[in-house]
């Protein structure tokens, strides 16, 4: 006889003529925990920035050291694992607030904390990254993966240096707590030139072996140049050609753009970004019907500012020492560096990611470029300081490595070159081109590194 089974609440069946009682409880039991805050909660960080304006996006990085002190206090008082994205809050009058949730045991009691280790656990650090990105993004941040992708694509529209802050939070520099671990980076982020600066540019370019077809005129479709004007300003640019039908028209486009840029540089005039982009776009359009180009340009002024313009997926990065040479008895070699991206990407993938965390694609399809009406482009101004390295590069020279942020690659390369005693700026340009070939040589690689120093007549 086949047994009969009772309902979920308990029943009987028969097996070998005997009554068999089914279990009554088949669900997971979860305790109900009620949380009551001892004070009124401030708005979440996203609400504070986007809705109430209690903290401006441009002020976010400068305000973070005060948040880190609150985070360290919360972790020491409540214990690890106490943070959620909504825990980070800000009020225009009271400042930062951390709403810390204790971790509970199954009996409803609070888990004891281990005071021997002050290193913030990975869970809490991931939460901080998500909260920071969520506060400045156009749409809510879904998770850590979403946050890291947005940091990479929207650098230049996010507060400059936010990507460096978030990657340092996820790194291994917080063994003495968040405040101490983040202090060197915040000092670097706030550093400015105190007097007039000088700028010297170094350029390296190479054909990717997998793109080489044996034609030296069209194999390398990148173009780059630099020029010092009569006023002392240094102008530099990288153009990455995009071939229409494999006929080398990308090389024609990039060289036409560089020729137009150099003609403008010789007049030593600071054109408004819109006028500059329009002139470059028109020059490419006159030179070719099928080719186009991505572009990144910089004008470094003696007062310590640099004006950037970018279209497409060419990139600008700032590489900066975390401390001045000789500090704390150091000799100036093996100086740690930090790096952060200065320009966003204008790709189809970026447009998707702007509205959905489920964007797909390799990110190489350009939606804005020179040669067919540039559409959207970006411009910004950054503050420089002696010791900085300003990098302009085609996307072949910034080829990402699996599970490794390119800013970490830049910082490590700069530190290694510093330790070797080689001139960092020209060696970094060469190292990036060599690295692109070592990663497979899939694209042409061009890097212009502008070394910032103190002006001799300052």
pLDDT digits (tens, 9 = 90+) for 227-273: 999 889 999 999 999 886 667 899 999 999 999 999 999 987 778 99
Given a cut of 60, whether residue 329 has pLDDT beyond it is no
More confident residue, 77 or 431: 431
Question: Comparing C-alpha atoms, which of 92, 74, 94 is closest to residue 83?
Answer: 74
Q: Which residue has the tokens 């009406």?
A: 373
What's the CA gap between 160 and 315, in Å, rounded?
14
* Contact status, residue 321 vs residue 337, Cβ threshold 8 Å: yes
What are the structural domains, with CATH classification, of the chain? 1-30 (no CATH), 45-189 (1.10.510), 197-454 (3.60.40.10)
Q: Which of 14-28, 39-53, 109-123, 424-438 has the lowest mean pLDDT?
A: 14-28
Percent with pLDDT over 70 in the chain: 86
Determine the pLDDT at residue 248: 85
Q: Confidence band (pLDDT; 50, 70, 90) for 421?
A: very high
What's the CA gap between 28 and 451, in Å, rounded?
62
Determine the pLDDT at residue 146: 97
CB atoms within 10 A of CB 52: 13
Determine the pLDDT at residue 101: 87
Determine the pLDDT at residue 401: 86
Q: What is the 3-state secondary structure (H, E, C) of 360-409?
A: CCCCCCECCCECCCCCCCEEEEEECCCCCEEEEECCCCCCCECCECHHHH
Average of per-residue pLDDT across 180-205: 96
Given a cut of 60, whether residue 439 has pLDDT beyond it is yes
Q: Got the DSSP string for 259-287?
A: HHHHHHHHTT----HHHHHHHHHHHHHHH
Please state, rounded to an integer, the average pLDDT across all residues of the chain. 88
Q: Confidence band (pLDDT; 50, 70, 90) for 331?
A: very low
Given a cut of 50, whether residue 437 has pLDDT beyond it is yes
Given a cut of 90, whether residue 457 has pLDDT beyond it is no
Rg (CA), the chain: 27
CB atoms within 10 A of CB 112: 9
Question: Comparing C-alpha atoms, which of 208, 158, 154, 103 is closest to residue 359?
Answer: 154
Phi then psi dihedrals of residue 214, to 5 deg: 90, 10
Question: What are the distances in angstroms from CA 376 to CA 32, 33, 58, 226, 274?
Answer: 51, 50, 22, 24, 10
Q: List all residues 6 or more positions away from 217 whose beta carbon is below 8 Å from its beta carbon.
A: 248, 251
**Model pTM?**
0.89
Average of per-residue pLDDT across 67-86: 91
pLDDT digits (tens, 9 = 90+) for 266-308: 987 778 999 999 999 999 999 999 999 999 999 999 999 999 9
What's the CA gap between 377 and 369, in Å, rounded?
8
pLDDT digits (tens, 9 = 90+) for 33-46: 777 888 899 999 99
What's the CA gap between 354 and 139, in Å, rounded?
7
């Amino acid at each position: 006889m086949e047994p009969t089974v009772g309902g979920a609440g308990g029943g009987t069946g028969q097996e070998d003529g005997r009554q068999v009682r089914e279990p009554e409880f088949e669900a997971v039991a979860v305790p109900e925990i009620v949380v009551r805050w001892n004070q009124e909660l401030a708005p979440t960080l996203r609400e504070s920035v986007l809705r109430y304006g209690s903290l401006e996006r441009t002020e976010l990085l400068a305000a973070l050291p005060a948040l880190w002190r609150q985070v360290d206090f919360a972790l020491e008082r409540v214990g690890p694992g106490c943070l959620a994205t909504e825990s980070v809050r800000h009020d225009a009058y009271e400042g930062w607030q951390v709403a810390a949730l204790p971790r509970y045991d199954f009996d409803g009691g609070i888990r004891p904390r281990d005071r021997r280790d002050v290193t913030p656990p990975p869970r809490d650090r991931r939460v901080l990254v998500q909260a920071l990105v969520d506060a400045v993004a156009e749409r809510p941040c879904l998770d850590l993966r979403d946050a890291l992708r947005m940091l990479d694509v929207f650098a230049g529209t996010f507060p400059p240096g936010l990507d460096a802050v978030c990657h340092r939070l996820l790194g291994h520099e917080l063994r003495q707590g968040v405040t101490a671990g983040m202090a060197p980076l915040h000092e670097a982020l706030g550093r400015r030139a105190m007097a007039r600066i000088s700028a010297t540019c170094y350029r390296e370019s190479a054909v990717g072996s997998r793109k080489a077809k044996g034609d030296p005129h069209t194999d390398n479709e990148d173009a780059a140049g630099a020029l010092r004007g009569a006023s002392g300003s240094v102008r530099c640019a990288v153009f990455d050609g995009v071939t229409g039908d494999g006929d080398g028209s990308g090389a024609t486009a990039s060289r036409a753009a560089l020729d137009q840029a150099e003609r403008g540089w010789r007049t030593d005039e600071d054109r408004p970004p819109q006028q500059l982009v329009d002139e470059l776009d028109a020059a490419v359009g006159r030179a070719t019907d099928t080719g186009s180009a991505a572009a990144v340009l910089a004008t470094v002024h003696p007062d310590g500012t640099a004006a950037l313009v970018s279209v497409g997926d060419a990139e600008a990065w700032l590489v900066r020492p975390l401390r001045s040479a000789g500090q704390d008895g150091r000799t100036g070699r093996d100086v740690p560096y930090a790096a952060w991206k200065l320009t966003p990407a204008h790709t189809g993938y970026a447009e998707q990611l702007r509205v959905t965390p489920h964007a797909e694609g390799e990110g190489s399809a350009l939606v804005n470029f020179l040669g067919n009406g540039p559409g959207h482009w970006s411009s910004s101004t950054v503050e420089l300081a002696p010791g900085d390295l300003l990098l302009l590069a085609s996307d072949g020279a910034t080829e990402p490595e699996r599970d490794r942020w390119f800013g970490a690659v830049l910082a490590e390369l700069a530190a290694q070159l510093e330790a070797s005693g080689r001139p960092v700026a020209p060696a970094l340009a060469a190292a990036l081109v060599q690295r692109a070939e070592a990663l497979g040589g899939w694209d042409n690689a061009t890097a212009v590194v502008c070394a910032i120093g103190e002006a001799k007549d300052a």
